[in-house]
């Protein structure tokens, strides 16, 4: 009888310990998820800042480079995709397309020395460069939060909590393969 009681006591103790550990993991998951969401808001904030600057930059360049319609069309299309993105994956894809289009625009500027010396263009370029740096910083911070969360999600015993409560993996903000090549 004592043996059965001891075994029952051990089993109950294990359940209590696992439940307590699970509760701690649950709280860490919710905290990590909120950190990711907050950081994603910062990424979107900076992407919106860039989106707000683009029309001014495009209009300034259009006056000098009217024949470069293709690039302006692709920039406008990328802005529309970014505005219509509903998930982090769609936003990441649209933002990467926009980055590629802006890189091509800046290459075009190299062909127009008068434009580079224009004060309004210089100011917009500096604003856009600063925004790109902010976006890069916020992307990095977002990826750090995602890494912390995804690591927690895969570790034992919190992986059990993740499975029980349905905590899903978050996507990293990855640059597209085309960003490895210099724009033409």
At 167, list the tokens. 């905590």
Rounded average pLDDT over 98-109: 80
Query: Which residues, including other chains, have CB under 8 Å from residue 74's CB and lie 6 or more apart?
Result: 97, 101, 104
The lowest-confidence range among 18-22, 68-72, 106-110, 158-162 is: 18-22
pLDDT higher at 97 or 176: 97
Confidence band, pLDDT 50/70/90 cuts, at residue 88: confident
Confidence band, pLDDT 50/70/90 cuts, at residue 28: confident
At 120, list the tokens. 């309004």
- Cα separations in angstroms, 46 against 142, 161, 171: 12, 34, 19
The lowest-confidence range among 4-18, 86-100, 120-134, 160-174 is: 4-18
Cα–Cα distance for residue pair 116/130, rounded to 1 Å: 17
Query: Which residues, including other chains, have CB under 8 Å from residue 97's CB and lie 6 or more apart?
Result: 74, 77, 78, 81, 176
**pTM for this one?**
0.62
pLDDT value of position 113: 67
pLDDT value of position 141: 92
Rounded average pLDDT over 45-49: 85
| Residue 171 DSSP label | P
pLDDT value of position 67: 55
pLDDT greater than 70 at residue 3: yes
């Amino acid at each position: 009888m004592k043996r059965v009681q001891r075994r029952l006591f051990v089993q109950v103790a294990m359940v209590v310990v696992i439940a307590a550990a699970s509760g701690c993991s649950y709280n860490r998951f919710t905290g990590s998820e909120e950190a990711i969401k907050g950081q994603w808001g910062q990424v979107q904030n900076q992407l919106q800042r860039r989106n707000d600057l683009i029309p001014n930059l495009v209009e300034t360049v259009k006056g000098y480079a009217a024949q470069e319609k293709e690039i302006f069309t692709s920039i406008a299309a990328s802005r529309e995709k970014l505005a219509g993105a509903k998930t982090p994956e769609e936003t990441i894809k649209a933002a990467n397309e926009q980055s590629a289009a802006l890189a091509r625009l800046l290459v075009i500027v190299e062909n127009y020395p008068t434009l580079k010396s224009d004060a309004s263009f210089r100011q917009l370029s500096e604003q856009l460069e600063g925004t790109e740096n902010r976006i890069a910083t916020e992307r990095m911070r977002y990826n750090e939060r995602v890494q912390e969360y995804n690591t927690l999600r895969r570790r034992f015993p919190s992986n059990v909590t993740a499975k029980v409560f349905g905590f899903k993996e978050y996507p990293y903000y990855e640059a597209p393969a085309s960003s490895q090549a210099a724009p033409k």
